[in-house]
Homo-oligomer: A and B are copies of this chain.
Amino acid sequence: MGEQVLHIDCPDEKGLVYKITEVLYQHGLNIVSNQEFVDATTDHFVMRTAFEGTESPNDVVADLEEALPPAANIRQAEIGNRSIVIMATREAHCLGDLLLRHSYGEIPARIDAVISNHDTLGSLTRAFDIPFHHLSHEGLERRAHEKQLQEVVDQYAPDYIVLAKYMRIFTSDFVDRYQDRILNIHHSFLPAFIGANPYRQAFERGVKIIGATAHFVTDDLDEGPIIAQDVLPVNHTHTAEQMANAGRDVEKTVLAKAVKLLLEERIFIHDNRTIVFE
Instruction: Say if the beta carbon of A147 comes within 8 Å of chain B.
Output: no
Kindly state whether residue A17 has any CB partner on chain B within 8 Å.
yes
Q: At the interface with chain B, which of A56-64, A95-103, A132-140?
A: A95-103
Q: Contact at B39–A236, with CB atoms within 8 Å?
A: yes
Closest to A240 in B: B41
A240 to B: closest C-beta gap in Å: 9
Cβ of A35 within 8 Å of any chain B Cβ, yes or no, is: yes
A12: nearest chain-B partner, CB-CB: B30
- A104 and B127 contact, CB distance less than 8 A: no
Q: Which listed residue (B17, B39, B236) contacts A17, Cβ 8 A?
A: B17
Q: Does A275 contact B (CB under 8 A)?
A: yes
Chain A residues touching B, range: 35 or more
Stretch in A71-79, A170-178, A204-212 with 4+ CB within 8 Å of B: A204-212
Closest Cβ–Cβ distance, residue A7 to chain B (whole Å): 14
Q: With an 8 A cutoff between CB atoms, is A68 at the interface?
A: no
Give complex CA distance A124, B102 in Å. Answer: 13
Contact segment of A80-88, A111-119, A153-161, A185-193: A185-193
Question: A214's closest neighbor in chain B, by CB?
Answer: B208
* A274, chain B: closest CB distance, angstroms: 6
B30 touches A239 (CB 8 A): no
Which 5 A-B pairs rank lowest in CB-CB distance, beginning with the nearest? A206-B273, A127-B127, A18-B21, A192-B192, A236-B275
